[in-house]
């Protein structure tokens, strides 16, 4: 193809960047919404397609937004801007409204801020042993003390197969455990309280529905729900809280774009996700049950500024019996951050991007100089562009220039705005757009200069950096500061991943393994790490996230019959082929933690997010003893379900009580008798101690086993939960077990 003359290419690129750059931020209207309004106006003006259904009278595309306002702004005034309110917590409401009216609403004297952000992206047979779950319940068909009964497990995800037998109570299929389902991508229903999609609340309707709208193309939610709450049906792959009730929301992620009508695209935002979380908690409240919500998705926060109202809304949504758990993300495969400290002349790194456009954000407390340096080879500078942030060439808080690299061009657009989330800082968004993929140009370094200011530069997994030997001065990039939102929010319990299962065998007999695996039990190589953009330690906790086996969508299998490399077992039921398969990511570790918290809520339904963090701080395992905890790799450590339960019950302080289950003996109690079944006959005497949850020792005696089974009378008269402690020279027999009498 004949190359455009340089000046024409320059003009086209600069004009393109001007059209997409952010305008001046008034502080009332989030940056993402500013750009969305422009895009929406362009689409509305170019589209001749008539709106359908209840949107017929709307003159422009609708969007879902957060609105923060004074008390004097009533619903009648909001309605004048075409707003329909769906939720309000304090001074923050969630409304749908025409894009055309968002800017006008933001200028109303009683409106403090209007905000939204784009859609998120998706980020068990060995798990009970690793997370110390077994002491909470026996792996038999008997009724168990802590299985999630009386707790609502909420999940918002994509790709639900509603028919999978793991969502029944057991192999009898006598009770269907999914109680309510809001599919945000379904055709608009007749439920006025939901801005998008439809709702199903009976087993008959849910099973007739079969799957979420995206269930033929995605399977992620089937897997995470199975991890959190699946019964396992007839397999070893039982979920954590396998007797909890289940409530689901199918939201729209980036991969669902093709399923969204063009005119409805901006109805699906972070505000819609917030309504999904509220739906799950509201349904649990209607059933008078505590609820933990698991969310295995996330997006790169925009310096947290565009997410301030989302953060505020969620902080008001959680509380006693309302716990939100979200994945940290899988962003640590790339270098996404570098820092230029105060007093240091300069720091930088090279762009590592495989497309023509890249965006970075610079957080600074002064006026740095941004340098772009293009290299012909090692230490050989071809071209350079210097852009002082105190320049007089800003227009509407935008600075535009072009870097010429031989026959190539790279348009540069920088926007600036004050962040209300991080006091005293200025955010500079820099966008580079080349005439071809940036990785095909010479190495391009982004350098920050200025001794008198401190600056941090943030990218993402798709807007990353590379440290190369082209010029070793610009090798400041590191793998950190990549926790996704909403996991970066303070009110959310954020989960990272550890790796335990190094390989598995699929249905074809192939052994699937990963050469990047760290030492077993350590943080996974992909798991996002902190701190957050505003400097807080995250994640809060870790759990196994590598090669976790759970349910997958049978509808997805029908649509993609050859994509079976991660399947470990197929089985047929009622004419359908169902799947157990392995997936990897913090998406998998998140429902493990959520399931364990459901068991803890069964013990104490009023636990708050701060209570959960306290339990984690006191009871988590520390995979790397040389580290201090909490830290930005593991948070408080790897979750320990049993130690957490003992802490909740107030019996973790009993000095003699083991924090692990006996490895080679099963303890059960029923009808006034205690039964002990040993894996191997032992000749060592055993000291039996029984403690009430108050910590009181209610009975103690020595046992002398004469066979692999023994039954003794229980000298306990009151019903309740008791801790059974066995102590012996045989270490496999030593441990504690909770029993319900």
Mean pLDDT in order along the chain per 10 residues (741 residues): 36 39 56 72 49 41 92 90 94 93 92 88 55 51 64 97 96 94 91 92 96 95 97 92 96 89 90 97 97 95 77 96 96 93 96 92 92 82 86 84 88 84 83 91 91 93 91 94 94 95 89 74 92 91 94 95 93 95 94 96 94 96 95 96 87 79 82 85 87 83 87 78 87 83 71
Q: Which residues 6+ apart lie within 8 Å of 625 measured at CB?
A: none
Structure tokens belonging to residue 587: 């998406």
Structure tokens belonging to residue 432: 């580079």
Structure tokens belonging to residue 179: 């109680």
User: Sign of the C-alpha dihedral, residues 19, 21, 26, 28?
Assistant: positive
CB burial of 590-622 (b: ≥16 within 10 Å; e: otherwise) equals bbbbbbbbbbbbbbbeebebebbbebbbebbbe
Give residue 304's pLDDT: 59
Distances (CA, A) of 736 to 82, 689, 712, 716: 61, 9, 17, 17
Backbone dihedral angles phi then psi of residue 591, each to the nearest 5 degrees? -70, -20
Give residue 134's pLDDT: 54
What distance, in Å, lies between the first and last C-alpha atoms of the chain?
Answer: 80
The single residue listed with the structure tokens 């570790």 is 589
The partner residues of 211 in beta bridges, in order of sequence, read 161
Measure the CA–CA gap between 195 and 185, rounded to whole angstroms. 11
Q: Which long-range contacts (CB under 8 A, 24 or more apart) does 70-78 make?
A: 70/110, 70/111, 70/112, 72/110, 73/108, 73/110, 73/111, 77/108, 77/110, 78/105
The answer to whether residues 323 and 587 touch, using CB atoms and an 8 Å cutoff, is no
The answer to whether residues 652 and 619 touch, using CB atoms and an 8 Å cutoff, is yes
Q: Where do the DSSP E strands lie in 450-531?
A: 455-458, 464-466, 493-498, 503-505, 511-513
| H or E element in which residue 283 lies | helix 270-286
Measure the CA–CA gap between 84 and 67, rounded to whole angstroms. 11
Give residue 394's pLDDT: 85
Query: Edge-to-edge strands of the sheet including 735-740?
Result: 697-703, 686-692, 721-728, 735-740
Give residue 64's pLDDT: 93
Give residue 297's pLDDT: 93
Residues in the chain: 741
Give residue 425's pLDDT: 85
């Amino acid at each position: 193809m004949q190359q455009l003359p340089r000046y024409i290419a320059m003009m086209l690129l600069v004009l393109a960047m001007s059209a997409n750059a952010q305008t001046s931020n008034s502080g009332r209207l989030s940056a993402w919404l500013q750009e969305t309004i422009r895009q929406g106006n362009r689409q509305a003006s170019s589209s001749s397609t008539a709106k359908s259904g209840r949107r017929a009278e709307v003159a422009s595309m609708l969007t879902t937004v957060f609105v923060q306002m004074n008390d004097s702004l009533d619903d009648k005034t909001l309605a004048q801007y075409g707003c329909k309110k769906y939720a309000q917590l304090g001074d923050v409401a969630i409304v749908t409204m025409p894009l055309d009216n968002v800017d006008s609403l933001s200028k109303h004297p009683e409106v403090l801020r209007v905000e939204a952000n784009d859609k998120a992206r998706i980020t068990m047979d060995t798990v009970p042993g690793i997370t110390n779950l077994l002491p909470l319940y026996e792996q038999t068909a008997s009724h168990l003390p802590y299985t999630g009964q009386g707790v609502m497990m909420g999940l918002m995800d994509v790709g639900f197969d509603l028919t999978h037998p793991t969502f029944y109570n057991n192999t009898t299929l006598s009770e269907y455990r999914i109680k309510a389902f809001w599919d945000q991508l379904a055709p608009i229903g007749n439920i006025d309280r939901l801005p998008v999609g439809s709702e199903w609340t009976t087993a008959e309707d849910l099973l007739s529905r079969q799957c979420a709208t995206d269930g033929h193309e995605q399977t992620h939610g089937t897997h995470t729900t199975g991890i959190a709450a699946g019964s396992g049906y007839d397999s070893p792959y039982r979920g954590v809280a396998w007797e909890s009730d289940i409530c689901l929301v199918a939201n729209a992620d980036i991969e669902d774009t093709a399923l969204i009508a063009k005119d409805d695209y901006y109805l699906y935002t972070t505000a819609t996700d917030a309504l999904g979380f509220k739906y799950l908690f509201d349904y649990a409240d209607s059933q008078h049950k505590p609820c933990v919500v698991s969310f295995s998705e996330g997006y790169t926060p925009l310096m947290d500024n565009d997410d301030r109202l989302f953060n505020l809304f969620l902080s008001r949504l959680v509380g006693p019996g309302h716990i939100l758990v979200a994945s940290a993300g899988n962003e640590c495969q790339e270098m996404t951050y570098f820092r230029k400290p105060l007093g240091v002349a300069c720091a930088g790194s090279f762009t590592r991007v495989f497309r023509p456009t890249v965006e970075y954000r610079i957080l600074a407390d002064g006026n740095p100089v941004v340098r772009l340096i293009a290299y012909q080879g090692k230490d050989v500078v071809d071209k350079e562009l210097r852009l002082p942030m105190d320049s007089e060439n800003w227009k509407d808080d935008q600075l535009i220039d072009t870097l010429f690299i031989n026959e190539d061009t790279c348009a540069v657009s920088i926007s600036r705005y004050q962040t209300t989330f991080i006091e005293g800082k200025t955010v500079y968004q820099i966008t580079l757009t080349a005439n071809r993929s940036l990785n095909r140009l010479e190495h391009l370094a982004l350098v920050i200069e200025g001794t008198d200011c401190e600056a941090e530069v943030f990218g993402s997994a798709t807007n990353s950096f590379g440290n190369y030997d082209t010029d070793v001065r610009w090798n400041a990039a590191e793998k950190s500061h990549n926790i996704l939102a909403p996991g970066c929010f303070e009110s959310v319990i954020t989960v990272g991943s550890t790796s335990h299962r190094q390989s598995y065998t699929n249905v074809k007999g192939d052994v699937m393994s990963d050469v990047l695996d760290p030492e077993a039990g350590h943080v996974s190589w992909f798991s996002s790490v902190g701190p957050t953009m505003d400097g807080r330690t995250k994640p809060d906790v870790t759990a196994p996230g590598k090669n976790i086996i759970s349910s997958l969508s049978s509808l997805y299998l029908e649509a993609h019959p050859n994509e079976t490399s991660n399947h470990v077992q197929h089985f047929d039921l009622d004419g359908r082929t169902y799947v157990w398969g392995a997936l990897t990511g913090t998406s998998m570790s998140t429902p493990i933690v959520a399931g364990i918290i459901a068991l803890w809520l069964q013990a104490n339904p009023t636990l708050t997010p701060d209570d959960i963090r306290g339990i984690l701080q006191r009871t988590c395992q520390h995979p790397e003893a040389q580290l201090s905890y909490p830290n930005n790799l593991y948070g408080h450590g790897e979750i320990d379900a049993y130690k957490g339960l003992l802490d909740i019950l107030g019996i973790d302080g009993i000095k003699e009580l083991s924090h692990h289950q006996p490895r080679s003996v099963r303890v059960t109690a029923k009808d006034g008798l205690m039964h002990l079944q040993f894996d191997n006959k032992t000749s060592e005497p055993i000291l039996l101690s029984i403690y009430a949850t108050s910590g009181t020792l209610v009975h103690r005696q020595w046992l002398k086993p004469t066979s692999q089974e023994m039954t003794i009378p229980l000298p306990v008269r009151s019903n309740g939960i008791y801790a059974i402690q066995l102590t012996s020279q045989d270490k496999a027999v030593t441990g504690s077990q909770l029993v319900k009498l």
